Amino acid sequence: MTSLVSHNRLFISRLSACAKLMVITVVFPLVSPATLNASPEEDAKTVAALDTKYQAAVKANDAQTMDQILADDFVLVTGRGKVYTKADLTDSAQRNEISYERQNEEPGTQKIRVWGDTAVVTALLWVKSVQEGKPADYKLWLSDTYVRTPTGWRYVFGQAFLPLPTAESPAKP
């Protein structure tokens, strides 16, 4: 009798594993296409919100949120040719190397362009900060590239242009 109970428990545990596998292979693919088939307009709204969330995380030195949004192989190239990785940016945020008063995309300047699983954000960014006791207050254009991954949109590449001269009115991208 004991071996029959043991056999039934083993069968049930195997059946549970099988049931879990069936859920993963049958149900998950039915759920995923909804996000893969989002319209370009829906994708643009999602990426716009994510990029705004990223800028707010930078301003708050929120390394955890930055880590969630940035792809592991993320690269940022500045207008002066300096290259930063995901680790560079999240480490700087953790150490609070820069204190931000402003780190905001100027209202009405954010433009999202979507091509399938790739989206590019252009915007005019206003930065007002203090780093190593030195104040900075400037505007610059940025171009941020996002890619759709199995876990959602990730920020993969950034291009920050040179700061605009203060007297110059910004042109549209």
pLDDT for res 30? 39
pLDDT recorded at residue 168: 56
Q: Which helix (H) or strand (E) holds 34?
A: helix 28-36
pLDDT at 92: 97
**Rounded Cα distance, 62 and 37, in Å:** 31
Residues in the chain: 173
pLDDT tens for the chain, 173 residues: list them: 555 444 445 455 555 544 444 434 343 443 444 445 789 999 999 999 999 999 999 999 999 999 999 999 999 999 999 999 999 999 999 999 999 999 999 999 999 999 999 999 999 999 999 999 999 999 999 999 999 999 999 999 999 999 999 865 555 56
Q: Are 135 and 51 in contact (CB under 8 A)?
A: no
Q: What is the pLDDT of residue 153?
A: 98
Q: How many CA atoms does the CB half-sphere of 41 hold within 13 Å?
A: 0
Q: What is the pTM of this model?
A: 0.76
pLDDT of residue 72: 98
**What is the Cα–Cα distance from 118 to 143, expressed in whole angstroms?**
13
The pLDDT value recorded for residue 13 is 55
